[in-house]
Structure 1
């Protein structure tokens, strides 16, 4: 694509919440690398009571540093549940702890979460979604944004517009839309044009999400959705420097990725963080998980993943990674 055709209008790049993947360590590393303007926590499940501060800090240690990563990137606190009053009370507590914004999860496709009436299954009930957003918006100080993330629907897309309007009418400040239903999961394609339909019907800012793996995907997503801001999950895990690549691309500059050696250094740093936090038997799994998610975008990761796939000894695993430098 020629530089003259590139949309250079500034848009935010948001690191998406990914349960079991984008924890505080991952947010720290990716935001420090650069190119990301905002992060969202993994969902904090709200059931039965108001969480104590220590529970919020487990999921979002950034609350102890004014709601920002070490690189200064704001971290939005995402809540998941189905009880409006309970979600409102927990949102109020998170706000008191310094959350820069509160996000509400109406998109998680997990069978376990949906079985307990959380995430994408609520998209069958726009009235409940409205009540949740309204309760949280009323509980949180006006200067703290309340946002929502939804899919195009649960079983189908028939209520996509209704849900978006319910979120708007309840007072949300913005809406992120993952361009697939729960049933469609994460299978291509993402229906970015559907986000465009939603954007045409609501007045609040809309963020596009789903299936952005490279600069061309990013540009096409913006064109079809009409959105300036884009939320990226798996694409940023597969290529942590994707935010930087996109921003260079927007300016018509070279958008080549980082050298493999720099990514290995990032993996080794991640190794150190995980080793400090988890029992040894779980550490190798997290390293392999990240390498596995890099495979679609990096031939080097494909080769390395199969080399370490059966390695459980942490010293052996570290040695193999260091040989890549």
Structure 2
């Protein structure tokens, strides 16, 4: 079983990739999308989104990171993919799933799910542009407004040269509203000869087991669920290997050093105006899994001063350690 960390714009960035892979259980990460338009991006753009390129395309915990590109022009994507390949990414992933209006309005992300032939041209162009040893994968949703073209889209990706396909089991129209339609993924698996990985609405071990059963996929991609419960990948792995759901693998006191590490990296690498918000964003999600996170979130919710927040973080082990 492979467990992957999802690319999530504005949430699962290199800071959280570092922290979550330190906790353990994930086999590979995918970066947030790097948007490709009509220009050749300089190296600094790739490095800003994916600083792991400076570390052999791995997090500091040693987990590989694949770079994700988003765009609609085959030639521009190919040129930029070749440029990115010089920096030594673990692989290149292509985004056919982003539901954001600003992205779809320019023909990128999930908008391409309306045109399987265009998808094939995009994947083929990138596959030809990068070295043969470099994996090229794709991430898709079940469709744009409906699921009518989901098989054709997956086939276009596979025929274009994608070595694996992650399926977020919702349409663009569904957005992030539950449920995820895992039961539709077997039709995609039957339509292609490459591995298919299931994604969407996996918040718990029970969700993961049901997703595997309904989708027929042995491998899963985790997004908001593992941000809310950093021990989720470890717990899923224990449940699958042991044959039964196991208790929480990462307790709140175990997580405190990771929260401190997260805040340290945020202060080192992000703009001052972003720092407090990023900590609050993570604590807000952690409230789903940890009762202690509710208290922590309420305490830090109105704080904006970096020095005060730093003191608050440093005091966490004395309260809950």
Output the TM-score relative to the length of structure 2: 0.94
2:310 paired with 1:318: yes
2:213 paired with 1:228: no
Query: What is the CA–CA distance in structure 2 between the aligned matches of 1:48 and 1:130, rounded to whole Å?
Result: 19
Deviations 1:184-207 (A, max 9, x none): 111111000111111111111001
Query: What is the CA–CA distance in structure 2 between the aligned matches of 1:207 and 1:164, rounded to whole Å?
Result: 12
Question: Which residue does 1:7 correspond to in 2?
Answer: none
Question: Which residue does 1:5 correspond to in 2?
Answer: none
Give yes or no for contact 1:246–1:255 (8 Å, CA) kept in 2: no
Question: Which residue does 1:151 correspond to in 2?
Answer: 141
Give yes or no for contact 2:104–2:110 (8 Å, CA) kept in 1: yes
Query: What is the CA–CA distance in structure 2 between the aligned matches of 1:169 and 1:279, rounded to whole Å?
Result: 42
2:36 paired with 1:46: yes
1:275 to 260, 267, 271: 267
Give yes or no for contact 1:248–1:255 (8 Å, CA) kept in 2: no
- Pairs within 5 Å for 1:20-169: 20-169=10-159
Deviates more, 1:297-306 or 1:220-229: 297-306
Question: Which residue does 1:297 correspond to in 2?
Answer: 289
User: Structure 1 residues 171 and 281, CA, compared in 2 at 3 Å: closer, same or farther?
Assistant: closer
SS at match of 1:228: coil
Root-mean-square deviation (CA, aligned residues, Å) is 1.4
Give yes or no for contact 1:107–1:119 (8 Å, CA) kept in 2: yes
Can you give the 5+ residue segments of structure 1 that lack an aligned partner in the other structure? 1-10
1:250 to 240, 258, 274: 240
Query: What is the CA–CA distance in structure 2 between the aligned matches of 1:275 and 1:292, rounded to whole Å?
Result: 19
Question: Which residue does 1:210 correspond to in 2?
Answer: 200
Give yes or no for contact 2:231–2:248 (8 Å, CA) kept in 1: no
Query: What is the CA–CA distance in structure 2 between the aligned matches of 1:141 and 1:201, rounded to whole Å?
Result: 27
Alignment length (residue pairs): 315
Query: What is the CA–CA distance in structure 1 between the aligned matches of 2:311 and 2:53, rounded to whole Å?
Result: 35
Query: What is the CA–CA distance in structure 2 between the aligned matches of 1:91 and 1:255, rounded to whole Å?
Result: 42
Give yes or no for contact 2:67–2:91 (8 Å, CA) kept in 1: yes
Can you give the 5+ residue segments of structure 2 that lack an aligned partner in the other structure? none
Output the TM-score relative to the length of structure 1: 0.93
Query: What is the CA–CA distance in structure 2 between the aligned matches of 1:317 and 1:25, rounded to whole Å?
Result: 17
Q: Which runs of 4+ in 1 moved over 4 A?
A: none
Deviations 1:95-152 (A, max 9, x none): 2210111100000111111112211111111111111001011111111111000000
Measure how far apart 1:279 and its partner are. Answer: 3.3
Query: What is the CA–CA distance in structure 2 between the aligned matches of 1:63 and 1:278, rounded to whole Å?
Result: 18
Measure how far apart 1:219 and its partner are. Answer: 0.9
Query: What is the CA–CA distance in structure 2 between the aligned matches of 1:67 and 1:282, rounded to whole Å?
Result: 25
Query: What is the CA–CA distance in structure 2 between the aligned matches of 1:256 and 1:295, rounded to whole Å?
Result: 15
2:185 paired with 1:195: yes
Question: Which residue does 2:276 correspond to in 1?
Answer: 284
2:172 to 155, 161, 182: 182
SS at match of 1:147: strand
Query: What is the CA–CA distance in structure 2 between the aligned matches of 1:129 and 1:13, rounded to whole Å?
Result: 26
Query: What is the CA–CA distance in structure 2 between the aligned matches of 1:178 and 1:158, rounded to whole Å?
Result: 15
Query: What is the CA–CA distance in structure 1 between the aligned matches of 2:167 and 2:270, rounded to whole Å?
Result: 33
